[in-house]
Amino acid sequence: MNRVYLIGNLTKDPELATTTSGVSVCRFSVAVARRFSNAEGERETDFFNVVAWRGQGENCHKYLKKGSKCAVVGTLQNRTYDANDGTKRTVTEIIADEVEFLTTKAGADQAPDGKDDKKEVSELEPIDDDTLPF
């Protein structure tokens, strides 16, 4: 079984390209914090390269940007190629089956229309317990 689930933030803006046969391909990198702290008490971060194809890739390019939080579901794939200096290189990538746009760092405090949607606790209206269905 080859299945990968990641939630993280983009390290830079996604790059969109088109193959010679006209298929869209979008590449981006996702930074994912490890679950546990290291010996110094710091949480280390891993960086994963993601490839999204066709319409999904076009949507990633359109709606994601550096700092965007997203969830990626896909498969792990290795590929090799010959570098310009003649050495053989291996690249490991996540081929995205699904990409869900979660939030962006810049827009986390704003509603989609750009207006600040957060309220202070004092502005919230009390709830009447008698009207709750449970």
Mean pLDDT in the chain?
86
Domain-located, residue 67: yes
pLDDT at 70: 96
Q: How confident is the model at residue 104 (pLDDT cuts 50, 70, 90)?
A: very low
Domain-located, residue 29: yes
Domain-located, residue 125: no
Domain-located, residue 94: yes
Domain-located, residue 52: yes
Domain-located, residue 113: no
In sequence order, the β-bridge partners of residue 98 are: 73
Query: Would residue 108 be called left, alpha or beta, if left means φ above 0 and alpha means ψ between -120 and 50 degrees?
Result: alpha
pLDDT at 48: 97
Query: CATH number for the domain including 24?
Result: 2.40.50.140
Number of domains in the chain: 1
Domain-located, residue 126: no
pLDDT digits 0-9 by tens, 4-32: 999 999 999 999 999 999 999 999 999 99
In terms of residue numbers, what domain contains 49?
A: 4-107
Domain-located, residue 44: yes
Reference 94, options 120, 65, 74; nearest CA is 74
